[in-house]
Homo-oligomer: A and B are copies of this chain.
Amino acid sequence: MKDELFQRIQDSFARQGFMNTLKARLADVTEGQVSIAAPISEAVSQQHGFAHAGIAFSIGDSAAGYSALTLFDPEVEVVTAEMKVNLVSPAKGQSLLAVGKVIKPGRRLCVVTADVFAIDNGEQKLIAVMQGTMVPVGYRG
């Protein structure tokens, strides 16, 4: 049974047309940490046949943003102020898993990270590390 926090994040996630385009799904939600999974397919490939850097970035950014969102009241939204990604291995395999975490919460700024893994024949390999800043908006007081 999915809990209330998962459902709240899922409701926002379901409104993201782009996550739907990527066939991404919310894999796990706990306070301050959110995981998102997405298949690697022709639709997200770059010219070498691996997933485009933008896919790792996109699901990592969403996972990191939602990890921040778990810490706020339901009326708050978060937007990405900035994000950096270091790509450490080719995004090769059947799917990607992004794990976003809050490093430093704050009402003005939340510093977040995300690790992105490729799952290739059951083996999980780190392909990208991300570090960035989320800004909560719509905070009442």
Which of chain B's residues has its CB closest to A59's CB? Answer: B54
Interface positions, chain A 45-90, Cβ under 8 Å from B, are 45-48, 51-55, 57-59, 61-62, 77, 79-90
Q: Which of A26-34, A104-112, A116-124 contacts B (4 or more CB under 8 A)?
A: A104-112
Please determine whether A133 and B131 come into contact, CB atoms closer than 8 angstroms: no
| Copies assembled | 4
- Chain B CB within 8 A of A95 CB: no
In the complex, which residues of chain B have a beta carbon less than 8 angstroms from the beta carbon of A104?
A: 86, 88-89, 126
In the complex, which residues of chain B have a beta carbon less than 8 angstroms from the beta carbon of A86?
A: 81-82, 103-104, 111, 131-133
- Chain B CB within 8 A of A12 CB: yes
- Chain B CB within 8 A of A1 CB: no
Q: A58-B54, A61-B53, A103-B88 are in contact. Are A82 and B18 (CB under 8 A)?
A: no
- Chain B CB within 8 A of A17 CB: yes
